[in-house]
Structure 1
Amino acid sequence: MLQHTLTGHCGKVLAAKFLGEPTKVVTGSHDRTLKIWDLRSRSCVDTKFAGSCCNDVVISDSSGTTIISGHYDKKIRFWDTRTNQNLSEILVQGKVTSLDLDRDGKTLLCCVRDDTLRLVDLRASQIISTFVAEGFKVGCDWSRAVFSQEGEFVAAGSSDGGVYVWNTATCQLQTVLRHHSSAVISVSWHPFANYIASVDRSKKAVVWTD
């Protein structure tokens, strides 16, 4: 049953996350803003002006005070929900298509339109690893990449129909899963078991296991 419809963005909304509690949500949009919503009043309580289209957001702490957003202008932005300013920025080499946090919230995975994945150490605010592979190409501006449940691997879909999996310790390509016939635009790793789900542009979903 539909509980809420939140209106206020004037562009596509590509990301939404709960903000540390079940009554608040943050959304990122192509209208170059992030909005924080109170689900009790069904209203926007804060708007943060990013200056660039937002493709994804994650929350880096359980209290919901720090938002991380990925943007078209090749920047990852860090926001304090208690202020109207972004805390800092990290520049990468292409549009940021997705973000994902490892289980302990200390490492950020970024999928970048220059056909790479990047790991960012959030404690040092530095890029520490880059994942590349022959044949791997990010298929669209909103392609999703993810950590495995223990953070040992990262996975992302490619425009050639493959699901590429890398080892995070060595940055080496572990395997390429092939069953799709069109660009894979999203992958998801089961939080408790060794399953990967992937979806392609032709609307096919595949579930992978050992």
Structure 2
Amino acid sequence: MPPSRGNPAPRHDMSVILVTGSYDHEIRFWEAWSGICSRTIARTGEAGQVNRLAISPDKRLLAAAIHKKINIYEIGSTSSDPIATLEAHTGNITAVCFHSEGKWLVTGSEDGTIKIWDLRTSQLFNNYDNSSPVNDVVIHPNQGELISCDQAGRVKLWDLSQNICQQELTPVHDLPMRSVTMAADGSLLIAGNNKGIIYVWKLHDENSGPPRFQAVTKFRAHNKYVTRCLLSPDAKYLATCSADTTVKIWTMTHNWEFHEDKVLVGHQRWVWDCAFSADSAYLITASSDHTARLWDMSSGESVRQYNGHHKAAVCCALHDGAG
């Protein structure tokens, strides 16, 4: 994140990429520390809200899930026109993430499929039938597996090399699982559902066969929807966003239990999305109150608010690490 409060980042500093998307059909780039909007992609006349955003590992591309399609934008450009548009989903796209090398893009959709795209050709490379609307997808840190969650209440681990689902976790059938996150070392898997319950699984290495996850705990994080759950890069924090307008920060004890560390209060409506800084010291959140906020994890205080969207801000992306 920016170097210090007294030394804001230069106006065109590309070391920190912060982007938000909204139901107002706009994508906004922000100077993280000053709060100034440095660029707006206004999709005038184009149908569909911006659902999810992802920044490529090299900070060159922005993938925006817009209703049933994905627009790929060049971050260093001033043009509002995408350099590619990926179309094959027949339902709302709910997840988008880049593979570590930036050559592949993974998307999940309410059409019940997970798709892998080759960004070098802008063509569909592979398709997985989940048989239920997909709510979230993340790429395993080993880059060889995907983890998804869906409306049927399932968390699935997909093996990319064998094109199969190698493990299915279903705490409660037909209770939608809203969001999924994984520790950077692949040892911990966490998901949150529509009832505000968080489920935690740890990696269990068996003597034979592939490693599998086993349940270790569950707890109620909120009394309403969990819209997003996210582990910090250092796995010190778990952030849970909710329909109750709050973001809660949890820390894990030595016996896999989670303790409520802070409640981030300031948003006036649902909080839809969040993103940690690379050093886990800051959190960005996006809310239906039209704003995004920057939070200091040490104090739990909101240190910057990003104003400019005219409707709900429902997604955000942050990349302040090495490009």
Aligned-partner Cα distance in 2 for 1:4–1:106: 35
The percentage of counterpart residues that share the same residue type is 26
Q: 1:60 and 2:154 equivalent?
A: no
Aligned-partner Cα distance in 2 for 1:84–1:104: 23
Ranges of 4+ aligned residues in structure 1 off by more than 4 Å: none
Equivalent residue in structure 1 for 2:193, among 90, 104, 112: 112
- Could you tell me which residue of structure 2 aligns to residue 128 of structure 1? 216
- TM-score normalised to the size of structure 2? 0.59
C-alpha RMSD of matched pairs (Å): 1.8
- Could you tell me which residue of structure 2 aligns to residue 70 of structure 1? 149
Aligned-partner Cα distance in 2 for 1:18–1:110: 20
Compared CA separation, residues 206 and 136, structure 1 to 2 (3 A): farther
Larger RCO: 1 or 2 (CA < 8 Å, sep 6+): 2
Task: Report if the CA contact (8 A) 1:131-1:166 is conserved.
Answer: no
Aligned-partner Cα distance in 2 for 1:198–1:30: 23
Q: Which amino acid aligns with 2:284?
A: A
Cα offset, 1:187, TM superposition: 2.0
Task: Report if the CA contact (8 A) 2:195-2:223 is conserved.
Answer: no
Deviations along 1:14-39, one digit per CA (max 9) or x if unpaired, are: 11222343211221111101111111
- Could you tell me which residue of structure 2 aligns to residue 190 of structure 1? 277
Q: 25-34 or 100-109: which moved more?
A: 100-109
Deviations along 1:69-94, one digit per CA (max 9) or x if unpaired, are: 11110001111123343112000233
Aligned-partner Cα distance in 1 for 2:264–2:141: 33
Q: 1:89 and 2:168 equivalent?
A: yes
- Could you tell me which residue of structure 1 aligns to residue 183 of structure 2? 102
- Higher Rg of the two aligned structures: 2
**Structure 2 segments unaligned to the other structure (5+ residues):** 1-73, 75-81, 205-211, 300-323
Q: Which amino acid aligns with 2:218?
A: T
- TM-score normalised to the size of structure 1? 0.89
Compared CA separation, residues 22 and 148, structure 1 to 2 (3 A): closer
Aligned-partner Cα distance in 1 for 2:150–2:203: 17
Cα offset, 1:8, TM superposition: 0.6
| Superposition map of 1:1-210 within 5 A | 1=74, 2-62=82-142, 64-93=143-172, 94-123=175-204, 124-133=212-221, 136-138=223-225, 143-169=227-253, 170-209=257-296, 210=299
